[in-house]
Amino acid sequence: MSNLEEVSHRVKETNASKVVNENFNLNITISKLKRNTHALSKNYDVKKYLDSNKFTFSPEISELIPKDTPPYIDNGEMYVERIARAMAFFKQCALIGPSGTGKTHIVYFVAELAGLPLWEINCGLQTSVFDLFGRYVGLGKENWIDGLITLWCRHGGILYLDEANMMKQDIATRLNPILDQRGHMVLTEKDNEIIQRHNDAFLIISMNPVSSEFAGTKPINAAMRRRMSVWLNFDYMSVGNKIDEKEIDLLEKKTGIDRKNAERIIRIGAELRERYKRGELPYGPSIGDLINWAKLVSDGTALKSAGEETIIALTSDDPEIQEIVRKIVHKNADSL
Ligand SMILES: Nc1ncnc2c1ncn2[C@@H]1O[C@H](COP(=O)(O)OP(=O)(O)OP(=O)(O)O)[C@@H](O)[C@H]1O
Ligand SMILES: [Mg+2]
């Protein structure tokens, strides 16, 4: 899980329905949060596509609008605008890219800029149909609790399905009819209640690319693939021999590290990413991971020891894999 996901105070996964339902029962009125995204939003033309004044959400779910998301570093790809456009035109889109390329980050960022509540589900986790669609609790058939997807369908916002290709078949099958732009869902468990998809209910799915390079990935199911109109590809700024000077600049700017060490870290990161893409390592470092490493170096720790505490331990617990990473770190730390 990324830092971003950890630090943001959000109602998540299975307890989201519980919390939101409790809020509804207790009738807590959360006034529209004062959000200070104005300064940020003028850098991105999101309003052109998504106008928060036109959204119709109940105030209770405005607490699900992300706050204080760090800016997304864009390398000229205009991802923010392209996602906003896809949502305005088609209500949904897919993000494809290796781990750590900022897919989750940008979803939070777009949700914050557009003023959209965010419902997040990691499909790789063992979340049950009950958690996602709903169930009766207690005795009898009086107390129904909506699951996360049901809440989204009723109340709107962005449903973010992370690792969508890992979704279990029983959930995918139930989800498909809702994914039609004007779709609806049928709660078979609840006397076949039909719920129309809220007018401002958007969907973003993300996944790792399916290729022989990525061990363990599988293709997304065809029914869901057909319902996605826009596919955006994400990749690392530097990978293998392709070193992006802008990523070195970024490291310098963010941490105050000297240029030589910034360059070393990016080179090491690029090599680790390539090996991850080839399936030789279980993880490839994100720009955020490299920034953490650079912060320790900038604070006076030697490159190699700072690497032990960050990138080497982060890649794996397995001593053999750590040794592979350590060799790459040492080789590059002594060069240049
Ligand atoms: N372009 C970017 N701008 C700013 N931060 C970024 C960018 N790309 C990645 N990061 C940072 O890198 C870390 C990993 O990003 P994130 O969790 O969004 O990746 P992901 O693509 O969702 O990965 P996964 O496939 O593992 O879920 C986060 O701390 C994120 O803030
Ligand atoms: Mg993610």
Do 329 and 312 meet the contact criterion of CB atoms below 8 Å apart? yes
CB of 8 within 6 A of ligand 1: the answer is no
**Ligand closest in space to the Cα of 106:** 1
Convert the pLDDT of each residue in 19-34 to its tens digit: 344 433 322 223 333 3
CB of 314 within 6 A of ligand 1: the answer is no
What does the block give as tokens for 301? 């720790």
Most confident of 33-47, 212-226, 295-309: 295-309
Rounded to the nearest whole angstrom, what is the distance from the C-alpha of residue 27 to the centroid of ligand 2? Answer: 33
Which stretch of 37-41, 106-110, 217-221, 311-315 has the lowest confidence by average pLDDT? 37-41
180: number of Cβ within 10 Å:
13
CB of 287 within 6 A of ligand 1: the answer is yes
- Per DSSP bridges, beta strands 157-162 and 118-122 are parallel
Average pLDDT over the chain reads 83
Mean pLDDT of the region 87-100: 91
pLDDT in the model for residue 311: 95
Atom of ligand 1 nearest to the CA of 234: 21
Could you tell me what percent of the chain has a pLDDT over 70?
A: 84
pLDDT in the model for residue 35: 44
Q: Which string of DSSP letters, residue by residue, matches 18-66? A: HHHHHHHHHT---PPP----HHHHTTS--TTT--GGG----GGGGGGS-
Which stretch of 9-18, 95-104, 151-160, 172-181 has the lowest confidence by average pLDDT? 9-18
Which stretch of 18-22, 87-91, 255-259 has the lowest confidence by average pLDDT? 18-22
- DSSP lists the bridge partners of residue 196 as 184
| Nearest-angstrom CA–CA distance, 277 and 217 | 12
Please state the domain extents for the chain: 3-233, 245-333
Q: Best mutation site among 166, 276, 286 for ligand 1, i.e. most ligand atoms within 8 A of its Cβ?
A: 286
pLDDT band at 213 (very low <50, low <70, confident <90, very high): low
Do 224 and 205 meet the contact criterion of CB atoms below 8 Å apart? yes
Closest residue to atom 8 of ligand 1, CA basis? 102
Rounded to the nearest whole angstrom, what is the distance from the C-alpha of residue 156 to the centroid of ligand 2? Answer: 21
Q: Best mutation site among 104, 122, 253, 291 for ligand 1, i.e. most ligand atoms within 8 A of its Cβ?
A: 104
Mean pLDDT of the region 267-288: 92
CB of 166 within 6 A of ligand 1: the answer is no
- Per DSSP bridges, beta strands 143-146 and 134-137 are antiparallel
Asked whether the predicted pLDDT for residue 67 surpasses 50, the reply is yes
Mean pLDDT of the region 165-181: 84
| Nearest-angstrom CA–CA distance, 245 and 16 | 42
pLDDT in the model for residue 94: 95
CB of 103 within 6 A of ligand 1: the answer is yes
Q: Best mutation site among 3, 101, 163 for ligand 1, i.e. most ligand atoms within 8 A of its Cβ?
A: 101
pLDDT in the model for residue 217: 65
pTM exceeds 0.85 for this model? no
To the nearest 10°, the Cα dihedral for 7, 125, 234, 98? 100
Convert the pLDDT of each residue in 286-327 to its tens digit: 999 999 999 999 999 999 999 999 999 999 999 999 999 999
Do 206 and 94 meet the contact criterion of CB atoms below 8 Å apart? yes
Closest residue to atom 16 of ligand 1, CA basis? 102
Do 276 and 283 meet the contact criterion of CB atoms below 8 Å apart? yes
- At the topology level of CATH, where does 3-233 sit? Rossmann fold (3.40.50)
pLDDT in the model for residue 108: 96
pLDDT in the model for residue 106: 95
pLDDT in the model for residue 46: 87
Asked whether the predicted pLDDT for residue 16 surpasses 60, the reply is no
CB of 4 within 6 A of ligand 1: the answer is yes
pLDDT in the model for residue 261: 96
Mean pLDDT of the region 110-117: 94
E-assigned strands of the chain?
92-96, 118-122, 134-137, 143-146, 157-162, 184-187, 193-196, 201-207, 231-233
Question: Any idea which residue has 């399936």 for tokens?
Answer: 279
Please give all residues whose CB falls under 5 A of ion ligand 2, grouped by chain where several chains appear: 104
Do 187 and 132 meet the contact criterion of CB atoms below 8 Å apart? no
Most confident of 179-188, 212-221, 298-307: 298-307
pLDDT in the model for residue 141: 76
Q: Best mutation site among 2, 208, 311 for ligand 1, i.e. most ligand atoms within 8 A of its Cβ?
A: 2
pLDDT band at 42 (very low <50, low <70, confident <90, very high): low
Rounded to the nearest whole angstrom, what is the distance from the C-alpha of residue 135 to the centroid of ligand 1? Answer: 34
Atom of ligand 1 nearest to the CA of 1: 17
Give φ, ψ of 116 to 5 degrees: -110, 130
CB of 232 within 6 A of ligand 1: the answer is no
pLDDT in the model for residue 177: 86
